[in-house]
Amino acid sequence: MPVRNAQLYYVAKPIGKRIALDEEESHHLLTVMRARKGQRVQLTDGQGAFYEAEFVEAFKQQAWLRILAKEVVPPPVTHLHLALAPPKHADRFEWFVEKATELGVNRITPLLCERSERITVRLERLRRIMVAALKQSLQAWMPLLEPPTHFSAVVRSAQESIRAVAWCGQTPRVDFRDLLRPGVHAVVLIGPEGDFTFEEISLAEAHGFIPISLGSSRLRTETAGVAVAATFKLLCSP
């Protein structure tokens, strides 16, 4: 079975015993790592499996591998869906997505709000960032990345047992940590720099969302997202 303590490569779920890495992964294996035939390679597919493979050959700058072993990793027993309004500067949301992936967030939704400063994101670039973070953190499950979705749609479709909305208003708020326990499924909404409107908070509360506090400090949007992810991982993971 794969060791998972070395360099990981990403591959779409393999079919059969022989697979080819994509251009970027092939370049890293062939040019950066200077792999030799017969070398063992560790893979992850981001869909719950690790693989051990053998480098067989390079054909037209593409690395071909033979699958030797597979390890299936069960889905996480806890589940965190983070719906976060992308900040004005794209690099801040990219940083959040990277850290959320490393921390094991299961689902990420760019949230469109009344006061949103950014309504578009580069999904393909974000997926590449997620792949890199997945490999760096030696994980088998990559988060589901949703397209930008309006606040009302996220609120109305939420099915998680714990539904929380982080905001800076004066309405009584619950300490986020007090809602958490091992094995829970949660969705947390984090708004833009201008925060949620009272109408958005009212809609969220009408659909079972609880206003929460993340502490006494006022956090940037992307920092709040990482704080939620880290707290959830520490308190809810087995």
Residue with tokens 């609120």: 155
Helices (H), 89-197: 90-102, 123-136, 151-157
Domains of the chain as residue ranges with CATH: 8-72 (2.40.240.20), 79-236 (3.40.1280.10)
Among 49-63, 64-78, 88-102, the range scoring the smallest mean pLDDT is 49-63
- At residue 189, the pLDDT reads 98
- Residues near 214 by Cβ (< 8 Å), separated by ≥ 6? 166, 176, 224, 227, 228, 231
Q: Are strands 144-145 and 107-112 parallel, antiparallel or unpaired?
A: parallel
Q: pLDDT of 112-171, one tens digit each?
A: 999 999 999 999 999 999 999 999 999 999 999 999 999 999 999 999 999 999 988 767
- At residue 213, the pLDDT reads 92
Nearest Cα to Cα of residue 229 among 102, 75, 105 = 105
Percent of the chain having pLDDT more than 70?
97
Residue 48's pLDDT band (cuts 50, 70, 90): very high
- At residue 25, the pLDDT reads 87
- Phi/psi region, residue 213 (left: phi>0; alpha: psi -120 to 50; beta: rest), is beta
- At residue 37, the pLDDT reads 87
- At residue 4, the pLDDT reads 56
Q: How far apart, in whole angstroms, are the C-alpha atoms of residue 67 and residue 73?
A: 17
pLDDT at residue 5 above 60? no
Residue 49's pLDDT band (cuts 50, 70, 90): very high
Q: How far apart, in whole angstroms, are the C-alpha atoms of residue 99 and residue 213?
A: 21
pLDDT at residue 186 above 60? yes
